[in-house]
Amino acid sequence: MKQAFDIFLTFLVVIDPAGLLPMFAALTAGGSEDFRRKMAWRGVTIAATVLFFFAFVGFGLLRVLGIGIPAFRIAGGILLLLLAIDMVFARQSGLRSTTKREEHEARERDDISVFPLAIPLIAGPGALTSLLLTLSPAKGVGHVALVLGILFFVLAITLVVLLSAVRILHVMGETGANVITRLLGVLLTALAVQFILTGVQTGLLRP
């Protein structure tokens, strides 16, 4: 039960539906309700496809590159720590949002579901890294099913949040969204440090 909660918390913090609210609202500003609904559905569906595909090919890619799990844990932990720092200080960087030029390009697009919504806002570096980190101690098909099931649940939450973006922002505002993001950032900091420590410990114990 604790393991499932930790996995859920990791995905919830990294994907950060509350943090997506202001960006999604800005990218779909001026669009109709039908347009926002369509972008939300397509964006989450495409992100889910990317994440689930990466879940099955990610470890093969690591083996081809000769990257061990301990090294990936340490590198992934550092990446998540940088992401957590951005969240705590409510900073927008390439790790969890688009750059200024990318945002400008996205505003000129009729379809923002693939870029930047699905990638990198939902299925970004942090989400891809977290997925492999939670799958790395896999103990058979049951564990993989648990991780992917929790990921699907968090993506469903993200979809609901995006579909209700205008109403939610009207209630809590961008400041409220930033407060939630900061709190999640503190939790992600602890998770990131734990990934680094586990990677170091595992690496030292290997023959």
Q: What pLDDT digit, counting tens, does each position of 106-133 carry?
A: 555 578 899 889 988 899 888 999 999 9
Percent of the chain with pLDDT over 70: 87
More confident: 88 or 54: 54
Q: pLDDT per residue over 90-106, tens digit each?
A: 776 655 555 566 565 55
pLDDT 10s digits, 170-197: 888 778 878 888 888 888 898 889 889 9
Q: Which residue has the higher pLDDT, 1 or 45?
A: 45
The overall average pLDDT reported for the chain is 85
Give every CB contact of residue 109 below 8 A, 6+ residues apart in sequence: 115
Domain boundaries defined on the chain = 2-205
Residue 207 has pLDDT above 60, yes or no: no
**Residue of higher predicted confidence among 103 and 163:** 163
Confidence of residue 137 (pLDDT cuts 50, 70, 90): low
